[in-house]
Amino acid sequence: MRIFSKGTLRVFWEKYPDARSALETWYSIIDNMSFQNPNEIIRYFKAADTVKNNRIVFNICKNKYRLIVKFEYQYQSAYVRFIGTHKEYDLIKNIENI
């Protein structure tokens, strides 16, 4: 899948270096695979949760951080919609539209 954008992840791990390894692993798996539906992604990321509008919430660093990604399976694209601390994630009111 093509991921938009690694730069967003890089900026985050520069601020929170402990997230780098987990985000690089996540990126490598998504980048090197082809997924047809959310269930296929959840098989690799057991702690991830699906939400409406093709979004999946990933737990990063044992739930210390959260990553929300919108997937467009027909185009094999993944869009980083949010990366932040769990506290910042808790402030989101409408995850399916982020």
Question: What does the mean pLDDT of the chain come to?
Answer: 95
The per-residue pLDDT for 97 is 84
**Is the confidence at residue 95, as pLDDT, over 90?**
no
d(CA 97, CA 94): 6
Q: How many residues are present in the chain?
A: 98
H or E stretch including 85?
strand 77-85
Kindly report, residue by residue over 7-50, the tens digit of the pLDDT: 999 999 999 999 999 999 999 999 999 999 999 999 989 999 99
What domains are there in the chain, each with its CATH number? Answer: 2-97 (3.30.2310)
pLDDT 10s digits, 9-20: 999 999 999 999
